[in-house]
Amino acid sequence: MVAKVRAVFRCGECGTSSPKWTGRCPGCEGWNTLVEELERVGAGGVTRSAPRERPVPIAEVDVHEWAARPTGISELDRVLGGGLVPGSVTLLGGEPGIGKSTLLLQAASSVAGSGATVLYVSAEESRQQVRLRAERLAALRPRLLVVSETSVPAVLAHVAEVGPDLLVVDSIQAVHDPDLSSAPGTVAQVREASHRLAQEAKARGMATVLVGHVTKDGALAGPRVLEHVVDTVLAFEGDRHHALRLLRAVKHRFGSTADLGLFEMGEEGLAAVPDASGLFLADRRPGVPGSVVVPTIEGHRPLLVELQALVVPTPIPTPRRSAQGLDAGRLSMLLAVLDQRVGIQIGNRDVYALAVGGVRVAEPGADLALALAVATAVTGAVLPADLVACGEVGLGGELRQVAATERRLTEAARLGFRRAVVPFSAPLPPAGVEVLRAATLAEAVALVGADEG
């Protein structure tokens, strides 16, 4: 008997199913936890498909059977650990307009240029729009096929007809399964569509990339189960008003999540950035109070970023604290430490702090540099042009060393920095770098001549 498909509502907390939606789960009594999903049943109840593989001894598993295939985009391959694995499902998330479609169209063109067949499913734009973008990116390839489709069964039919090596779906929130009554983009639709596409990818050994939207707080939109269905989750980040874009792996079953890809958005698309530190510091103006360079770590890559601070008196009782590209809570903590442990009074002044270049610096290793930037902005002291600072600041004003200090300072030395303010416990520096050691923030401020006394 042919299996039938029916819609059920299942609790996301306890798994209890219900034939219709209710505000409260009948099992765990949780509110608004029921979501719609499809269930296929036959004559004997829920159908059980025959296994497609036979169990084999683990030592006989061929690890080279599904080797990663390079995309031809160096920074993307860096994050993916060599490329896309056949049969894998990758989710690429990012804010609207950040360049997700541009990146994937360039990657699809490169893969198609290597002789593979690529099917690009555009669920949000017409074929003509995709063609115009591909023409601007010089991404027109005979083996790059494009179709504008929003129905999951239709997408699977195109896959069966074309037999692509790589499938790109842009975006997963725009495709829908007509067997479900809910609208595209809902939890049920996104989950069902991703499940069916993932099953097809595994069955065919077809690499698949899904584009996902993000919410206002930067999290991937849709059900959390979507992140468990896919093998790799990539986050594409950056400020739309700056050219720099950052690509990082949030989850990666085939490699490390510590690598970082850097791109620069231009008129001809995204270009790899081999020397990000040089890009960040290209327009730096030494000799200005409130400017400190911090060697930070993004993944495995050391980056040098300029931190700037501006402190001005204010007549209002509640001074403003503004942080762009920095953790606002961390800034407030450092201002309190400067006030109580160092004696630099900031209570009646507005403080503006900025990580230059559109990159976000949120690690504790930037504490010392940010505190020195604020201190020099208050006192008017100017730090030497060849000096960097890195270290974590505690509430007691003590300085703590951070991970990969030697790698940070090696990158600083490569760009011509010869002095570094570090915690007293930091390891030996690389050749060519003189370290100024301090046990507390007050000592570090005095070392660079930024104390008010």
| Average pLDDT score over the chain | 88
Looking at the structure, tell me whether residues 139 and 247 fall in a common domain. Answer: yes
Q: Are residues 96 and 206 in the same domain?
A: yes
DSSP state of 405: H
295 and 241 in a common domain: no
Q: Please report, rounded to a whole number, the percentage of residues in the chain having pLDDT higher than 70.
A: 91
Q: What is the DSSP string of 166-186?
A: EEEEE-TTT-B-TTS-SPTTS
Residues 22 and 122 in one domain: no
Query: pTM to 2 decimals?
Result: 0.78
Say yes or no: 263 and 377 in one domain.
no
Most confident of 7-11, 92-96, 443-447: 443-447
Amino acid identity for residue 80 in this structure: L
User: Domain span at residue 308?
Assistant: 279-447
So what's the pLDDT on residue 323?
96
Question: 108-117: per-residue pLDDT in tens?
Answer: 999 999 999 9
| pLDDT at residue 1 is higher than 50 | no
In this prediction, residues 328-349 reach a mean pLDDT of 94
Mean pLDDT, rounded, for 190-204 = 91
CATH of the domain at 348: 3.30.230.10
Q: Which of 447, 401, 404 is nearest to 297 (CA)?
A: 404
The answer on 437 and 400 residing in a single domain is yes
Of the residues 273, 294, 320, the one at which a domain ends = 273
- Give the separation between CA 304 and CA 350, rounded to whole angstroms: 26
Yes or no: say if 297 and 407 are a contact pair by the CB < 8 Å rule.
Answer: yes
Give the type of residue at 78.
R
Same domain, 191 and 327: no
Tell whether 177 and 238 lie within a shared domain: yes
| Model confidence at 453: pLDDT above 70 | no
User: For 25-29, 61-65, 166-170, which range has the lowest pLDDT when averaged over its residues?
Assistant: 61-65
155 and 292 within one domain:
no
- Report how many domains make up the chain: 3
Cβ-proximal residues to 185 (8 Å cutoff; 6+ apart), any chain: 173, 174, 221, 222
Of 306, 276, 419, nearest to 370 by C-alpha is 306
Residues 255 and 317 in one domain: no
